[in-house]
Amino acid sequence: MGLLWGGLPEGMEETPQRVAKHWATITRGLHQDPLEPLKKTFTCDHDEIVLIKDISFNSLCEHHLLPFFGVAHVGYIPSGRVVGLSKIPRSLDILAARPQLQERLTSELTQVIEDAIAPVGVIVVMEATHTCMSTRGVVKANAITTTSCVRGVFKTDFQARQEVLSLINKDA
């Protein structure tokens, strides 16, 4: 005789509420302004690269509502103003907590940094694993997707772009 259905296991009694809370948490960014963390800025005459590497993020692919996650690298050359280092990850967390495309997440983060401090140049590189590719569909567990968005001097000055990419350890 097989196992008969005997009703919900005790551990599942609160599962609907947990699931609702989880979805509210992972989509909280829909109700938040990604520019908010970047509103407080500081004057600073540093005119070379500021690079924050390996900022972990978790997001949600808009096609399957499955997680994609990885790291972001954000580099910029200030034009007189900088933001607190923790504020860029805070802004990323807001943008990531929405149904996203990795490409759009990358360009939106670039855009909010431009809007906040109008840097001489800004570059965002993101590397991510998409669980809609690793656990279902094509089932490629090790595929990593890299996206980048480049603005300002990094767009036109190949040497500046090379420098920041070598600090990130990526080829141009």
Contacts to ligand GTP by CB under 6 A: 61, 63, 101-103, 130, 132-133, 137-138
31 assigned to active site: no
Longest alpha-carbon distance in the chain: 77
17 assigned to active site: no
Write down the catalytic residue from 13, 14, 62, 103.
62
- 60, 61, 117, 124: which one binds Zn ion (CB under 5 A): 61
Residue 149 in marked binding region: no
Minimum distance from residue 10 beta carbon to ligand GTP (Å) = 35
64 assigned to active site: yes
When CB distances are held under 5 to 8 angstroms depending on the partner's kind, the choice from ligand GTP, Zn ion, none that residue 101 binds is: ligand GTP
102 assigned to active site: yes
Residues that bind Zn ion (CB under 5 A): 61, 63-64, 132
Catalytic residues: 61-64, 102, 130, 132
